[in-house]
Amino acid sequence: MKKITLTGFTWLIAFAAIAQNNLITNIPNRKSVSLNGKWQYIVDPYETGFYDYRYKELNENNGGAYWNTDVPANKTELNEHTYQEKNSLNVPGDWNHQDPKFLYYEGTVWYKKSFDYKKSASGKVFLYFGAVNYRADVYLNGKKLGAHKGGFTPFNFEVPANLLKETNNFLVVKVDNKRYADEVPTLNTDWWNYGGITREVKLIEVPDNFIQDYFIQLKRVSPGSIPAKTPEVEGWIKLNRAPASGEKLTVEIPELKLRQQFTASDTITKVHFTLPKIQLWSPETPKLYRVIISSNSDKTEDKIGFRTVEAFGKQVLLNGKPIFMRGISIHGEIPKEIRRAYSKEDAMQLLGEARELGCNMVRLAHYPHDETMTRLADSLGILVWSEIPVYWTINFGSNEVLDKAKAQLNEMITRDHNRASVIIWSVGNETPVSPTRTNFMHSLITEAKKLDQTRMVSAALEVNYSALKNLNEVNDPLGEFVDLVAFNEYLGWYGGLPDKCRTTNWSTPYNKPLFISETGAGAKGGFHADSLTRFSEEFQEWYFKEQVAMFKKMPENFVGLSPWVLNDFRSPKRNNQYQDGWNRKGLYDDQGNKKKAFYILKAYYNQIEKASNSKKK
Ligand code: GCB
């Protein structure tokens, strides 16, 4: 915590290694005023709006700061900055796609929104951001509300009473997406670092005493069993303050004629009750129930599906029955428009493409995607792997970095812990094995399990290949701590040709379900050649043919896969004549065309689906 004194106010600024434990959930269903739309901006690569020419942080007495009003007091006043209509960016939206000058920009941009606001009732107002990449410093009418780090998770700040005006509020966000070694992710990623206010911004109106968060999920069943006919809910309701004496909290599910009341015991009150016979949530029947949670002074309504999920022996059980995950990895990007995804339409497009491929599962790589994705997955019946950007070479030796990773984990889980679709929390991807890394990752796993005992925890691991034994071993020590042993393999793309899949062997010391979290090969859409030609659609097709043949011979604990990747996506690391700034491992190209390999995977998924349907009959 850093204490900053500003003109008579004392502001506590939670610097965002610390998770926002004041995060409000169920945002789409709260009373709100949108601040989306056109914002004006100033590009500030030298951070002139933040530091003076001696590189000291500017303060409230210095009108030069970009967070303060840009209107000179009179015509003689020298003011070096103004926000201008002609320099506008759409929010939500990354800046990179909105003007060619931003294509490769990484640095600071100041965003400004002027707005009028009439408060409709008494109560509190919070300023909410779905995500800002990477660091946001937020100022309203010249006062700093706080700062947040982490480019893919939500945060909110309470707006102090009387700070909001009826007209002409001056909201400024300093957005900085520079990469640093000690951040999460770190300097090096295989995706483009889109900057900006990438998700929506809203004012949230709540009563003074309000329901901040809740966890309404089926209780874990005893290992390996199916949920009871009348299953139990176990969870909690969190208020923003201590309850009034004897205050009642109510959970209602009108369709089930269920109404349960609890006496609030503390800020967090445990709830536990039995449901009548229900339709369990599953990919085949993605049933969601309207759930209303109320306190003396607040009421919030959500749509929740009820299901159980667990890794049991060598299988993954959904509602007590083994499932095979026909997945695909997805980046949060709309390639045709070369931008970050953020809207319902974007989610429809991405999850629609996954469905066309025959998927019942998606791996949302390598960071938490927009909330529209997990909400839509809930209603479409698509299982979700959700991940934090602990990717490759994070500074595993640093406690501060661990805190930053934990903060993002906390925010990811808090936002989505009522989504039936989310079955796996992933704490990272391809982290290089060392005792320091294993401790780091282990503490993230412990944290995830502390926050949520009803889902699986995993991480995408790497494979150890021994040429001598022609053996692929999944023996990362982290395997001991995860529920699902997931690994990325590129046999036939990185090292060798796809026919290597025919002779290779697989083994793992872990007696747990095995999941292939990535496999893929690059192909430029529309480039055709013989199957030995790298980057041709034919090569990628051959790769998938060989891989599918290999999957069919995988050990019995093979429970699914999420190949790499649904769409081509921007990656500044990839610059040969075929890739041209893109990773071309998509099954769809950057124009939305299906490549030949798409049909190979689809056929495999259709076969699996048919076999599992006929088993059920
Ligand atoms: C991986 C990474 C993924 C890359 C992919 C590739 O293993 O997890 O982020 O984009 O390989 O294309 O090499």
**Does any ligand 1 atom lie closer than 6 A to the CB of residue 177?**
no
**Shared-domain flag, residues 254 and 182:** no
**Shared-domain flag, residues 417 and 560:** yes
Q: Please tell me what DSSP assigns to residue 257.
A: T
**Does any ligand 1 atom lie closer than 6 A to the CB of residue 518?**
yes
Q: How confident is the model at residue 119, as a pLDDT?
A: 82
Q: Please tell me what DSSP assigns to residue 297.
A: S
pTM of the model: 0.96
Determine the Cα–Cα distance for residues 96 and 339; give it in Å rounded to an integer. 7
- 535 in the Ramachandran plot: left (φ > 0), alpha (ψ -120 to 50) or beta? left
Q: Is residue 428 part of a domain?
A: yes
Number of the ligand 1 atom closest to the C-alpha atom of 366: 9
Q: Going by CA atoms, what residue is nearest to atom 4 of ligand 1?
A: 190
**What's the 554 CA to ligand 1 centre distance in angstroms?**
22
**Does any ligand 1 atom lie closer than 6 A to the CB of residue 430?**
yes
**Shared-domain flag, residues 288 and 378:** no
**What's the 566 CA to ligand 1 centre distance in angstroms?**
13
**What's the 173 CA to ligand 1 centre distance in angstroms?**
32
Determine the Cα–Cα distance for residues 319 and 306; give it in Å rounded to an integer. 9
**Does any ligand 1 atom lie closer than 6 A to the CB of residue 488?**
yes
- Percentage of the chain beyond pLDDT 90 is 91
| Amino acid found at 245 | S
Q: 3-state DSSP call for residue 274?
A: strand
Looking at the predicted structure, is the pLDDT value of residue 12 above 50? Answer: no
Tens-place pLDDT, residues 449-473? 999 999 999 999 999 988 888 899 9
pLDDT tier for residue 284 given thresholds of 50, 70 and 90? very high
**Cα–Cα distance list, 451 to 130, 271, 308, 310, 456 (Å):** 21, 16, 16, 16, 12
List of residues 6+ apart from 37 with CB closer than 8 A: 90, 91, 113
Number of the ligand 1 atom closest to the C-alpha atom of 494: 13
pLDDT tier for residue 6 given thresholds of 50, 70 and 90? very low
Q: Is residue 501 part of a domain?
A: yes
**Shared-domain flag, residues 365 and 400:** yes
Q: Is residue 578 part of a domain?
A: no
**Shared-domain flag, residues 325 and 294:** no
Q: Is residue 14 part of a domain?
A: no
Owning domain of residue 158: 31-206
Looking at the predicted structure, is the pLDDT value of residue 3 above 60? Answer: no
Q: Is residue 18 part of a domain?
A: no
Looking at the predicted structure, is the pLDDT value of residue 10 above 80? Answer: no
Q: Residue 57, Cβ neighbours under 10 Å: how many?
A: 11
Number of the ligand 1 atom closest to the C-alpha atom of 488: 7
Looking at the predicted structure, is the pLDDT value of residue 15 above 90? Answer: no
Q: Of 263, 285, 306, which marks where a domain is finished?
A: 306
The CATH number of whichever domain residue 115 belongs to comes to 2.60.120.260
**Shared-domain flag, residues 248 and 201:** no
Q: How confident is the model at residue 4, as a pLDDT?
A: 33
Q: Is residue 8 part of a domain?
A: no
Q: How confident is the model at residue 60, as a pLDDT?
A: 76
pLDDT tier for residue 1 given thresholds of 50, 70 and 90? very low
Residue in 428, 433, 522 with CA at minimum distance from that of residue 474: 433
**Does any ligand 1 atom lie closer than 6 A to the CB of residue 585?**
yes
Chain centroid to CA 468: 40
Mutate which of 430, 489, 561 for ligand 1? The one with the most ligand atoms within 8 Å of its CB, which is 430
**Does any ligand 1 atom lie closer than 6 A to the CB of residue 386?**
no
Lowest-confidence segment of 115-124, 496-505, 540-549, 586-595 by average pLDDT? 115-124
Number of the ligand 1 atom closest to the C-alpha atom of 571: 10
Q: Are 288 and 305 a contacting pair, CB within 8 Å?
A: yes
The CATH number of whichever domain residue 287 belongs to comes to 2.60.40.10
Tokens of 321: 């029955």
**Shared-domain flag, residues 315 and 418:** yes
Residue in 172, 145, 148, 199 with CA at minimum distance from that of residue 39: 172
Q: 3-state DSSP call for residue 248?
A: strand
Calculate mean pLDDT across residues 374-381: 98
**Does any ligand 1 atom lie closer than 6 A to the CB of residue 189?**
no
pLDDT tier for residue 20 given thresholds of 50, 70 and 90? low
Calculate mean pLDDT across residues 440-448: 98
**Shared-domain flag, residues 418 and 555:** yes
**Shared-domain flag, residues 283 and 324:** no
Determine the Cα–Cα distance for residues 329 and 406; give it in Å rounded to an integer. 23
Q: Is residue 563 part of a domain?
A: yes
Q: Are 145 and 157 a contacting pair, CB within 8 Å?
A: yes
Mutate which of 519, 535, 561, 564 for ligand 1? The one with the most ligand atoms within 8 Å of its CB, which is 564
**Shared-domain flag, residues 287 and 148:** no
Mutate which of 192, 476, 518 for ligand 1? The one with the most ligand atoms within 8 Å of its CB, which is 518
pLDDT tier for residue 495 given thresholds of 50, 70 and 90? confident
**Shared-domain flag, residues 441 and 483:** yes
Looking at the predicted structure, is the pLDDT value of residue 185 above 80? Answer: yes
pLDDT tier for residue 8 given thresholds of 50, 70 and 90? very low
Mean pLDDT taken over the chain? 94
Tens-place pLDDT, residues 336-360? 999 999 999 999 999 999 999 999 9
Tens-place pLDDT, residues 224-251? 999 999 999 999 999 999 999 999 999 9
Number of domains in the chain: 3
Q: Going by CA atoms, what residue is nearest to atom 13 of ligand 1?
A: 190
**What's the 190 CA to ligand 1 centre distance in angstroms?**
6
Q: Of 288, 306, 324, which marks where a domain is finished?
A: 306
Q: Of 206, 222, 252, which marks where a domain is finished?
A: 206
Mutate which of 189, 190, 458, 519 for ligand 1? The one with the most ligand atoms within 8 Å of its CB, which is 190
**Shared-domain flag, residues 486 and 347:** yes
The CATH number of whichever domain residue 611 belongs to comes to 3.20.20.80
Tokens of 415: 């936002």
Q: Is residue 166 part of a domain?
A: yes
